[in-house]
């Protein structure tokens, strides 16, 4: 379970461009559920994902993962949590060009020190389960959009994370691929994973696999209070 | 002031170290007053972020502080030709009244810096900053000493006058009993001092091994390792130096730092500092071994520190014994 308590994130604090991306978000994401964060651009969805995924620290507030407070953890512990507990799927596949599909998938597991042969076998099994093992030796720059997305999914799962975080995963997918992606999400749920998706795509938020939809606006959960992200004040010249 | 590059390096190192320690102390006051890990306030999260920066700065600064004691002695040794009467660092440090007090303070802050690095290392291994308050409290205690050391060091270098006739190490460490601390150390009878030295080293090494094997007696070992340090220094002045120089009346603890003696002193003093820091560091961590986030960290760390301290004292004793046995001097 992921619990957020009064989480705030302010960028450019103390400057004229100060912007409160999140303003006191309190939210509970139960384990083994699919939660979708919706809202317009600038509502704080991605910022919230990065904080939950230990990629950024909040300006105030705390996040607990399975009862353990994680926002105060020193960086060395955060690295380990990111590596073992979270799988990330980004808007763009973000694969590393020049490397093969197999190498891209294996990359996040290298720091864990698993024997290469065992890791390679596991990566091949994972690629096979997403019907893309035939592309294992291919360079990623030659993949189609859908193939690249599936490789990114397999890479996110290589360390068997308990939580999968996806940021606008269907933004560049057509309807068929978006439907297939939601089938993958249903599969994650069946495997007992917790899924947190940020998306303003109605194909995602209206999917039957989704358990909870959280609407964000101006850094707050809608209905929680007034908007807080003031536009930057520009000092005028005489 | 003599604008020698080594002097400038010493002054720069001290000023930088003290300046950054004072900055860290200001931050430490905020930690001691406001640190509350249960709170998710903006101030608490800012303290958590800044403590990385401050700890990283201090870790580098204290490594410099440990090295600074050797640089200071090296500088004093290097400036010897400028002062009539000086034969080694002993004479240069005696040029004015600030030399030896500065060296003593440098030794003390060097040992403190070493122990602080050990505590900081343990703290960085805990997930909830378990030793953060103790770390900054230690810093607050040591900061005045570091400030005083920098002031004395500046005064020492400022009052280095090349027209001063100073005493050589033969006078300083060969004087009659009761005339000075150095003279008293040199006058310690070599026979009983040899027994005290080997007994102390034996107790320390065996105490460390006992602690390693039985996981008991950690505090006794830490105390023994701290006591062994001054005993070893006194032994160097009292009898070890005699065997190295192969002269029955030359007790100087600085000449062994010179090229003529293959800079063996740097190795000996380096081992002693490493041994006492590891031993004292192990003792400093023991009270926190039951803190939940330290339970998996401190036992293995104390184990490694104890082993390091025992090994360094053992190698020191072995080197000294070899120097005595291979010496042409018979007392």
Q: What is the 3-state secondary structure (H, E, C) of A20-71?
A: EEEEEEEEEECCCCEEEEECCCCCCHHHHHHHHCCCCCCCEEEEEECCEECC
Q: In percent, how much of chain B has pLDDT > 70? A: 96
Beta strand A34-38 with A60-65 is: unpaired
User: Are B64 and B15 in contact, with CB atoms under 8 Å apart?
Assistant: no
Give the residue from B76, B127, B115 showing the smallest Cα distance to B265. B76
Name residue B216's beta-bridge partners: none
- Would you state the pLDDT for residue A186? 92
Quote the pLDDT of residue B117.
95
SS3 A86: strand
Neighbours of B319 (CB within 10 A): 15
pLDDT in tens, B181-190: 667 777 778 8
The reported pLDDT for the residue numbered B17 is 94
Look up tokens 């899924």; give the residue: A195
Give the separation between CA B206 and CA B308, rounded to whole angstroms.
Answer: 13
Residue located via tokens 């320690």: B21
> Which are the contacts of A5, defined by CB distance < 8 A and separation ≥ 6?
A26, A61, A62, A63, A64, B40
Mutate to test the interface with A, among B38, B39, B45 (most CBs of A within 10 A): B45
In chain B, residues with a C-beta closer than 8 Å to the C-beta of A76 are: 124
Q: Confirm or reject contact between B296 and chain A (CB < 8 A).
A: no
Find chain A residues with C-beta within 8 A of B127's C-beta: 73-74, 77
- More confident position, B242 or B168: B242
Q: Is the pTM of this model over 0.90?
A: no
B66 CA: distance to closest CA in chain A (Å): 26
B11 and B153 in contact (C-beta within 8 Å)?
yes
Looking at beta carbons, which residues of chain B come within 8 Å of A18? none
pLDDT computed for residue A229 by the predictor:
44
Q: Kindly identify which residue of chain B lies nearest to residue A60, measuring between CA atoms.
A: B42
Residue from A72, A76, A78 whose CB has the most chain B CBs within 10 Å, to mutate: A72
- Lookup: tokens for B195: 């027994």
Cβ contacts of B41 on chain A, cutoff 8 Å: 60
User: What is the DSSP secondary-structure string of B259-310?
Assistant: GGGTTHHHHHHHHHHHHHHHHHHHHHHGGGTTSGGGTTTHHHHHHHHHHHHH
Whole-number Å distance between alpha carbons of A183 and B229: 69
Burial pattern A19-30, b for ≥16 Cβ within 10 A else e, equals: bbbbbbbebebe
Selected residue of A62, A70, A81 to mutate for chain B interface (largest B Cβ count, 10 A): A62
Q: Tens of pLDDT along chain A (238 residues)?
A: 899 999 999 998 888 888 889 998 999 999 999 999 999 888 999 999 999 999 999 999 999 999 889 998 988 899 989 999 999 988 888 899 999 999 999 999 999 999 999 999 999 999 998 888 999 999 999 998 888 988 998 999 899 899 999 998 888 777 887 888 888 899 889 999 999 999 988 888 888 999 999 999 989 998 654 444 444 333 333 3
pLDDT of B255 higher than 80: yes
Rg of the Cα atoms in chain B: 21
pLDDT at B86 over 90: no
Return the percent helix, strand and coil in chain B, to nearest 5: 75, 0, 20
Which residues of A are less than 8 Å from B42 in CB distance? 8, 59-60
Lowest-confidence pick of A99-108, B254-263, B301-310: B254-263
Tell how strand A34-38 and strand A194-198 pair up. Answer: parallel
Instruction: Give CA–CA dist B57/B53, Å, rounded.
Output: 6
pLDDT score, position A226: 46
The confidence score (pLDDT) of residue B40 equals 87
Q: Residue B62's pLDDT is what?
A: 93
Tokens (6 digits) for B112: 């403190």
Position A235 scores a pLDDT of 38
For residue B127, give both structure tokens: 């997930």
Which of A55, A61, A42, A90 is CA-nearest to residue A3? A61
Mean residue pLDDT of chain B comes to 91
Residue B187 CB: number of other CB atoms within 10 A? Answer: 17
Is B40 in Cβ contact with A5 (below 8 Å)?
yes
- Residues whose CB is less than 8 angstroms from the CB of residue A145 and which lie 6 or more positions away in sequence, other chains included: A93, A172, A173, A177
- Strands A19-29, A220-221: pairing is unpaired
Flag whether pLDDT at B87 surpasses 90: no
pLDDT in tens, B9-44: 999 999 999 999 999 999 999 999 999 988 889 999
Q: How far is CA B116 from CA A61, A126, A199, in A?
A: 31, 48, 49
Choice among A34-43, B148-157, B161-170, B265-274 with the minimum mean pLDDT = B161-170
Residue of B45, B127, B129 lying closest to A57 (CB–CB): B45
Other CB atoms within a 10 A radius of the CB of residue B246 amount to 12
Which of A61, A62, A72 lies closest to B128 in CB terms? A72
How far apart CA A38 and CA A205 sit, in angstroms, is 7
- DSSP-derived pairing of the beta strands A220-221 and A212-217: antiparallel
**How many Å apart are CA B251 and CA B236, to the nearest integer?**
8
Helix, strand or coil, per DSSP, at residue B225: helix
């Amino acid at each position: 379970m992921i619990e957020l308590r009064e989480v705030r994130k302010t960028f450019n604090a103390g400057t004229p461009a100060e912007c409160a991306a999140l303003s006191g978000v309190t939210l509970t994401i139960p384990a083994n559920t699919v939660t979708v964060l919706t809202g317009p651009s600038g509502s704080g969805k991605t910022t919230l994902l990065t904080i939950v995924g230990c990629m950024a620290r909040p300006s105030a507030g705390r996040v607990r993962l399975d009862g353990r407070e994680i926002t105060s953890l020193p960086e060395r512990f955060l690295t380990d949590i990111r590596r073992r507990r979270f799988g990330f799927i980004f808007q763009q596949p973000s694969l590393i060009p020049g490397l093969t599909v197999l190498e891209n998938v294996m990359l996040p597991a290298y720091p864990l020190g698993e024997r290469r042969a065992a890791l390679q076998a596991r990566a091949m099994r994972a690629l096979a389960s997403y019907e893309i093992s035939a592309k294992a030796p291919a360079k990623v720059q030659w993949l189609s959009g859908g193939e690249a997305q599936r490789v990114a999914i397999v890479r996110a799962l290589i360390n068997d994370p308990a939580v999968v975080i996806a940021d606008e995963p269907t933004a560049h997918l057509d309807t068929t691929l978006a439907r297939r992606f939601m089938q993958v999400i249903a599969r994650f749920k069946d495997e007992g994973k917790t899924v947190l998706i940020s998306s303003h795509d109605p194909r995602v938020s209206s999917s039957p696999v989704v358990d909870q939809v959280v609407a964000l606006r101006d850094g707050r959960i809608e209905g929680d209070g007034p908007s807080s992200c003031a536009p930057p004040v520009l000092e005028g010249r005489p | 002031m003599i604008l020698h590059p080594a002097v400038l390096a010493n002054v720069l190192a001290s000023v930088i170290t003290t300046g950054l320690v004072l900055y860290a102390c200001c931050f430490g006051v905020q930690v001691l007053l406001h640190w509350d890990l249960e709170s998710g306030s903006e101030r608490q999260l800012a303290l958590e972020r800044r403590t990385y920066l401050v700890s990283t700065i201090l870790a580098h600064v204290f490594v410099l502080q440990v090295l600074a004691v050797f640089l200071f002695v090296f500088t004093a040794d290097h400036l010897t030709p400028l002062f009539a009467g000086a034969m080694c660092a002993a004479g240069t440090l005696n040029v004015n009244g600030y030399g030896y007090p500065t060296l003593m303070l440098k030794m003390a802050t060097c040992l403190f810096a070493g122990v602080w690095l050990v505590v900081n290392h343990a703290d960085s291994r805990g997930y909830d900053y378990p030793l953060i308050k103790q770390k900054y409290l230690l810093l607050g205690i040591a900061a005045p000493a570091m400030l005083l050391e920098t002031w004395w060091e500046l005064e020492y270098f400022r009052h280095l006058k090349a027209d001063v006739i100073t005493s050589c190490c033969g006078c300083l460490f060969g004087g009659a009993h009761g005339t000075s601390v150095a003279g008293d150390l040199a006058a310690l009878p070599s026979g009983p001092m040899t027994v005290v030295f080997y007994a102390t080293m034996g107790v320390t090494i065996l105490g460390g091994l006992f602690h390693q094997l039985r996981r008991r007696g950690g505090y006794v070992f830490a105390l023994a390792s701290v006591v062994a340090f001054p005993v070893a220094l006194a032994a160097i002045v009292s009898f070890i130096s005699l065997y190295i120089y192969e002269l029955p009346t030359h007790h100087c603890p600085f000449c062994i730092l010179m090229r003529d003696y293959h800079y063996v002193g740097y190795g000996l003093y380096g081992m002693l500092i490493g041994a006492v820091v590891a031993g004292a560091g192990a003792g400093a961590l023991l009270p926190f071994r039951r803190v939940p986030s330290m339970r998996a960290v401190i036992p293995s760390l104390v184990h490694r520190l104890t082993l390091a301290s025992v090994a360094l004292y053992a190698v020191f004793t072995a080197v000294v014994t070899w120097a005595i046995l291979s010496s042409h001097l018979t007392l």
